[in-house]
Amino acid sequence: MGNFKEDLFGNLEKKSNIKQEDVYKVADSMKHANLSDEETVRNLVRQLARMANKPLPQEKEDKIVESVTKNNIPMDMQSLNKIFKS
């Protein structure tokens, strides 16, 4: 299981330029967040986009926020990739 975690964070850093420590900080700050609240989720999405130094078109932001707030988040990597690449 340790290699999976290392591979996951290694890939995340390569593709997004977000360090593992930063992911943990964001995750820790969101432990008690209301992920059904649109404003909370929108702020989180924008924060992650800034951390990755990636532009996030409004349409994609809206799609991500809607998926999270409606608890309609796919759990497999292929589906997640579709959301972020579309």
Domain residue spans of the chain: 2-85
Tell me: pLDDT of 86 over 90: no
Nearest to residue 68, comparing CAs of 40, 27, 32? 40
Q: How far apart are CA 31 and CA 42, in angstroms?
A: 16
Q: Quick: pLDDT tens for 26-72.
A: 778 878 888 889 999 999 889 888 888 888 999 999 988 998 888 87
Indicate the SS3 state at residue 33: coil
Alpha carbons 83 and 86: distance in angstroms, whole number: 6
| Residue 79: per-residue pLDDT | 67
Q: State CA 25 to chain mean position distance.
A: 13
Specify the DSSP class assigned to residue 27.
H
